[in-house]
Homo-oligomer: A and B are copies of this chain.
Amino acid sequence: MIKASVVGATGYTGEELVYLLAGHPGVEIGSLSAIVDKPTNISDIFPRFKGRVDAVCERFDARKAVDSCDVAFLALPHTVSMEFAPIFLKAGKKVIDLSADYRLPVSVYEKWYGKKHTDRENLRRAVYGLPELYRSEIKGADFIANPGCYPTSVVLAAAPLLKYKLAEPEGIIADVKSGVTGAGRKASLGLLFAEVADNFKAYKIGTHQHSPEINQQLGRTAGRDMDILFVPHVIPTRRGILSTVYLKAKKGVTQKDIDGAYAKFYGDEPFVRFLGGGAVPELKDVLCANFCDVGVKLAAGTIVAVSAIDNLTKGAAGQAVQNMNIICGLEEKEGLM
């Protein structure tokens, strides 16, 4: 049994991680920590866990946390993770970080997240945990930078087109729609039911901090610098991201070429379901599941690539468990079906 610990167990991502780890046949929970008043059973914090998860969540204690785990999950806000990752790494533990702290080059990170990076050493060894693109690197790694929810969604939608040069790498637009849990579990007027229900809006047009991560990953795939336009919107749902990505088709590209490319790119992937034939996915089919559903339609010279994920599962906790399975030598789908 692999012992797994979660740091930051009381956010939406932490909650989902605990849920998945508790149901994972190859894992036992080592320790849970968060900012709590006093040690509290996680099932008192999330009553839906009663009868299913029995573990105490307490304030972070470095020695305890390190001793109790083989692999640590950091479900912490950006700029906080880099204070915790070194503690586990120095002790020889595996770490899967769900924040943005180890996903970008220092200069890019510091520009977009507005804080000095204090752990450049480990930043260099972190492997970007998108198994569909980097499975072989992930296999040998002990430190994973788990992708952001938006980048997972956009990159999986568009990567095959760039890899096989079916679309122009310029002028790409990602019009993305996300449920509310993507914003985290914090008391804020803008996240109130009365503000979100019956509403819909765009925000941070071209300025969202996930933009450089998307560009970096699509850039690696395309083998060149990218500058896509990323426009996130808020859907009145709890969970889920649906991305509609627009790319200019290269001359002569057909729907059949596109279908072939996705089938080849994702042929053996356990968690990507490519629809084919111009059909596109719906959010409801991936909710609470680790799947990324992808459908692509060629329309008048533009390729419309649509992907659907659950932001808390394939967009965060589920993908983190998938990465854990890979780096710990478990079957990749274990605990995720």
Contact = CB atoms under 8 A, between A and B. Distances in A.
Interface of A: 12, 23, 46-48, 50-52, 171, 173, 175, 177, 180-181, 185-189, 191-203, 205-207, 227, 229, 231, 233, 235-240, 242, 244, 246, 248, 270-271, 273, 275, 278, 280-289, 291, 293, 297, 299-300, 302, 304, 306, 337
A194 B12 contact: yes
A7 B151 CA distance: 42
A281 to B, nearest CB: 7
A273 B188 CA distance: 27
A236 B233 contact: no
A278 to B, nearest CB: 8
Contacts of A191: 192-194
Contacts of A291: 50-51
Given A236-B193, A282-B199, A173 B173 contact: yes
Contacts of A187: 187-189, 192
B198 A238 contact: yes
Contacts of A297: 205-206
Copies of this protein, total:
4
Contacts of A189: 185-187
Contacts of A244: 175, 202, 231, 233
User: A186, A199, A236, A291 — which one has the most chain B CB atoms within 10 A of its CB?
Assistant: A199
Given A193-B196, A286-B48, A242 B299 contact: no
B177 A185 contact: no
Contact of A200 (B48, B186, B273, B282): B282
A322 B187 CA distance: 35
Given A48-B285, A193-B193, A202-B242, 15 more contacts: A47-B293, A48-B284, A48-B286, A50-B285, A175-B175, A192-B193, A193-B238, A197-B238, A200-B282, A205-B280, A206-B297, A207-B299, A233-B244, A236-B236, A236-B237
10 contacts: A48-B287, A173-B246, A185-B194, A191-B194, A192-B192, A201-B283, A206-B300, A207-B299, A235-B235, A236-B236
B285 A202 contact: no
Nearest to A240: B200
A273 B202 CA distance: 17
A283 B200 contact: yes
A189 to B, nearest CB: 5
Nearest to A49: B285
Contacts of A202: 242, 244, 280, 304, 306
B273 A50 contact: yes
A304 B198 contact: no
User: A281, A284, A293 — which one has the most chain B CB atoms within 10 A of its CB?
Assistant: A284
B193 A284 contact: no
Nearest to A239: B198
Contacts of A175: 175, 244, 246
Contacts of A51: 270-271, 273, 291
Contacts of A46: 285
